[in-house]
């Protein structure tokens, strides 16, 4: 997960306060207002409930202490300020300790619709609302514990589980009602609209299939996996995930449905 980065995280002062410039508050506000329009009827209710609990300001970048106050009270989680991309080891360690990594920078105006690097809007607006939900929080905690104990090779497969759930997961009820719970979609104005269209291939969640599915971080996803409801994440957490990882390693990856990245 570590690579050259296009952004530099802003550092807190001795009191943990981060002084963002007005131009960055304006970017947060624009993203917030766009998603406020896009998400009703598209985001899952548990996410919307969590967003309401967090009470995020619409006109400024929030301070992490404000988010922590709510997370600690609801599920015992908190945030951890980090640079943009961190190592797998650090990522799993934080989740295993109920600390959600948040990069303390915000995207440029040129990358409003989709960003490869996780910024504070992605992390706080996209992910933190669902960390108020017990099933989502439990799944995230167990995932961190599994990853912390996994080998380097196993972690590559575990990354796909996170990608197709926490980052780009969907809910699809028995009546075919589609809702979004993945933070990578919820924080992306472009992908929020794209995923509700006719182009993506939306498949029922199957653990081993998920572990075998390639993805790219720099394109709209051609494939998504859908569970029926958020509480299904609790059931997935009780599966023998590492046995499934070993089976997926034996079977190998599916053929990618997207072209290889140039260069």
Q: 3-state DSSP helix/strand/coil percent for the chain, to nearest 5?
A: 50, 10, 40
- Whether 127 is a known active-site residue: answer yes
Find the catalytic residue in 122, 141, 188, 229.
122
Nearest Cα to Cα of residue 221 among 204, 207, 200, 203: 200
Find the catalytic residue in 99, 135, 187, 188.
187
Find the catalytic residue in 46, 127, 135, 229.
127
- Whether 138 is a known active-site residue: answer no
Find the catalytic residue in 167, 188, 191, 229.
167
Nearest Cα to Cα of residue 54 among 19, 112, 100: 100
**Cα 230 → chain centroid:** 14
- Whether 167 is a known active-site residue: answer yes
Whole-Å CA distances, 219 to 24, 38, 118, 121, 189: 25, 20, 14, 19, 14
100 vs 166: CA distance, rounded Å: 12
DSSP assignment of 172-184 equals: E-TT--EEE--HH
Query: Is there a binding annotation on residue 141?
Result: no
Q: What is the DSSP pairing of strand 78-82 with strand 170-172? A: unpaired
Query: Is there a binding annotation on residue 24?
Result: no
Query: Is there a binding annotation on residue 167?
Result: yes
Whole-Å CA distances, 232 to 26, 49, 185: 37, 18, 19
128 vs 47: CA distance, rounded Å: 9
* Binding site, annotated residues: 122, 127, 167
The catalytic residue positions are 122, 127, 167, 187
* Binding site, annotated residues for Fe cation: 122, 127, 167
């Amino acid at each position: 997960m570590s690579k050259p980065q296009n952004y530099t995280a802003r550092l807190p002062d001795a009191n943990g306060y981060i002084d963002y410039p007005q131009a960055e508050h304006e970017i947060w506000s624009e993203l917030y207002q766009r998603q406020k329009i896009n998400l009703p009827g598209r985001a899952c209710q548990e996410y919307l409930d969590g967003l309401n609990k967090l009470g995020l300001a619409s006109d400024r970048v929030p301070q992490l202490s404000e988010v922590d106050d709510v997370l600690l009270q609801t599920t015992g989680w908190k945030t951890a300020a980090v640079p943009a991309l961190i190592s797998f080891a650090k990522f799993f360690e934080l989740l295993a300790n109920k600390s959600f990594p948040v990069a303390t920078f915000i995207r440029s105006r040129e990358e409003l619709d989709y960003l490869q690097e996780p910024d504070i809007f992605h992390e706080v607006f996209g992910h933190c609302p669902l960390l108020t939900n017990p099933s989502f929080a439990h799944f995230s905690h167990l995932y961190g514990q599994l990853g912390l104990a996994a080998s380097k090779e196993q972690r590559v497969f575990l990354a796909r589980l996170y990608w197709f759930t926490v980052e780009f997961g969907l809910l699809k009820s028995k009546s075919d009602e589609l809702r979004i719970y993945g933070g990578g979609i919820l924080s992306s104005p472009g992908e929020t609209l794209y995923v509700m269209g006719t182009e993506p291939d939306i498949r029922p969640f199957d653990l081993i299939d998920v572990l075998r599915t390639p993805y790219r971080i720099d394109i709209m996803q051609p494939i998504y996996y859908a569970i029926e409801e958020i509480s299904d994440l609790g059931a997935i957490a009780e599966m023998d995930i590492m046995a499934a990882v070993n089976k997926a390693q034996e079977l190998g990856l599916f053929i990618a449905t997207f072209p290889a990245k140039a260069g």
